[in-house]
Amino acid sequence: MENSRNFQKELDKIISSFDGKRPRLLLHACCAPCSSYCLEYLNGYFDITLFFYNPNITDEEEFNKRFYELQRLVKDIYPDMQTVCPPYCKDEFLSAVKGLDDCKEGGERCFVCYALRLAKARDYAEENGFDYFCSTLSISPHKNCDKLNSIGEALAKDKRVKHLPNDFKKRGGYARSVRLSQEYGLYRQNYCGCEFSKPKE
């Protein structure tokens, strides 16, 4: 099903209005591979701070592994970029999705997870004077881009900070993220992060 809106064109229009200015963007980062292309693309237009808030990740070991890879990517390419990482708290995710254990992957449980992570990013962005916030999640062909953007927009309503419309998989973004992951030897996990999406052993 095609998106009802072209979020890439909306983003292009916003960027074209900057006239040389560099707004502050809080970019929620789910992992290094997804962040690789998003950073390559957005860094030319925004002053970016990464926000690694992912309580959905199965356990602390996996959380630390993914955060380490993100830090390694940033250190190699964007050494002056700040990364914010709230403490890992799996209970925040489990509490939010309670009762949704049997939902299929890509369904309501995932939408609650999007909202949980985007709300945390919105709060941090609002409290710290950012102009925009959004997430790298839309680069994945397995994520619902319409839902991600509608949730982000709803969270930004009546707030000073604005949600940045996005569909990072467009223009070969996903394929580019795969190539960049190979180029930098990034750990590329085979599941989204939560216990519900983890392949059975």
Cα 42 to Cα 33: distance, rounded to the nearest angstrom: 15
**With a threshold of 0.75, does the pTM exceed it?**
yes
User: How many Cα atoms are found within 13 Å in the side-chain-facing hemisphere of 91?
Assistant: 1
String of DSSP letters for 103-129: SPTTSHHHHHHHHHHHHHHHHHHHHTT
Give me the tens of pLDDT residue by residue for the chain, a chain 201 residues long.
Answer: 444 799 999 999 999 999 989 999 999 999 999 999 999 999 999 999 999 999 999 999 999 999 999 999 999 999 999 999 999 999 999 999 999 888 888 889 999 999 999 999 999 999 999 999 999 999 999 899 999 999 999 999 999 999 999 999 999 999 999 999 999 999 887 767 787 776 666
Tell me: the pLDDT tens digits for 48-85? 999 999 999 999 999 999 999 999 999 999 999 999 99
CA dihedral sign, ordered 36, 25, 82, 111: negative
Nearest CA among 27, 54, 23, 24 for reference residue 38? 27
